[in-house]
């Protein structure tokens, strides 16, 4: 990034996600872009921060271990109506996108989204659509990311993951043994 972003006077950003590795990477990337980042790994922690220090910007995961991220969005919207809120989810569906926007989210992104996608969504004007991603993931990469996510959600249990993905266990084992596609 060559030129600094115009974030306004208040650069506060709340990131709420229960995927610790993703949260750390995104926090670091957003700090490099000039945001003053605070992180939370649960609905309870996100709501606590939103109550005390409602941020100018927020990125909230839809499904968290202790509940629904839309509860955080709702509280943020009540505490600071002008805040720009992006909802992230690995479970993209039209119904949840509509619910997120109705409750007050500015935008809705499907995981895996990178820091550029998040920044573009946070800073996009109300009437403007954010530009399409410069380097969209290949279909193979999206499939691999989805399989990895389900595998982690099943506590790395191959049989359970194969059942949930309607896939033969050995096929899944072969996929998991390979490196991620580009």
Distance CA 156, CA 130 (A): 36
Residue 145 pLDDT grade (very low, low, confident, very high; cuts 50, 70, 90): confident
Per-residue pLDDT at 6 exceeds 70: no
pLDDT in tens, 33-68: 889 999 999 999 999 999 999 999 999 988 888 888
| 35, 73, 108 from 86: Cα distances, Å | 15, 9, 6
- The full DSSP string for the chain is --S-----S--EEEEE-S-HHHHHHHHHHHHHTT-EEEEESSHHHHHHHHHHS--SEEEEESEETTEETHHHHHHHHHH-TT-EEEEEESS--HHHHHHHHHHT-SEEEESS--HHHHHHHHH--SSSPPPPPSSPPPHHHHHHHHHHHHHHHTTT-HHHHHHHTT--HHHHHHHHHSPPP-
- Supply the CATH number for residue 100's domain: 3.40.50.2300
Residue 2 pLDDT grade (very low, low, confident, very high; cuts 50, 70, 90): very low
Structure tokens at 127: 């009437």
Per-residue pLDDT at 162 exceeds 90: yes
- Supply the CATH number for residue 168's domain: 1.10.10.60
CB 165 within 8 A of CB 147: yes
Residue 94 pLDDT grade (very low, low, confident, very high; cuts 50, 70, 90): low
The whole-chain average pLDDT of the chain stands at 84
pTM above 0.75, yes or no: no
Single residue among 97, 123, 149 that ends a domain in this structure: 123
Domain annotation covers residue 103: yes
Per-residue pLDDT at 125 exceeds 70: no
The count of structural domains within the chain is 2
The size of the chain, in residues, is 182
A 10 A CB-CB count for 57 gives 26
Residue 131 pLDDT grade (very low, low, confident, very high; cuts 50, 70, 90): low
Q: Are residues 109 and 148 in the same domain?
A: no
pLDDT given for residue 107 in this prediction: 86
Per-residue pLDDT at 173 exceeds 50: yes
pLDDT given for residue 47 in this prediction: 93
Domain residue limits at 84: 12-123
pLDDT given for residue 1 in this prediction: 45
Single residue among 78, 99, 123 that ends a domain in this structure: 123
pLDDT given for residue 128 in this prediction: 56
Distance CA 27, CA 24 (A): 5
Which residue in 37, 17, 41 sits closest to 27, CA to CA?
Answer: 37
Per-residue pLDDT at 3 exceeds 70: no
Residues 117-123 have a mean pLDDT of 87
């Amino acid at each position: 990034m060559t030129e600094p972003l115009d974030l306004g006077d208040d650069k506060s950003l709340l990131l709420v996600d229960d995927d610790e590795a993703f949260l750390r990477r995104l926090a670091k990337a957003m700090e490099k872009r000039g945001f003053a980042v605070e992180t939370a790994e649960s609905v309870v922690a996100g709501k606590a921060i939103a109550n005390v220090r409602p941020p100018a910007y927020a990125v909230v995961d839809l499904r968290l271990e202790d509940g629904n991220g839309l509860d955080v969005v709702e509280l943020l919207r009540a505490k600071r109506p002008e805040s720009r809120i992006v909802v992230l989810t690995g479970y993209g569906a039209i119904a949840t996108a509509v619910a997120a926007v109705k409750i007050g989210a500015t935008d809705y992104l499907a995981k895996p989204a990178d820091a550029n996608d998040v920044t573009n969504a946070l800073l996009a004007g109300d009437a403007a659509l954010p530009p399409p991603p410069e380097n969209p993931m290949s279909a193979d990469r999206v499939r691999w990311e989805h399989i990895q996510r389900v595998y982690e959600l099943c506590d790395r249990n191959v049989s359970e993951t194969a059942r949930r993905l309607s896939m033969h266990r050995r096929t899944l084992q072969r996929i998991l043994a390979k490196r991620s596609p580009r």
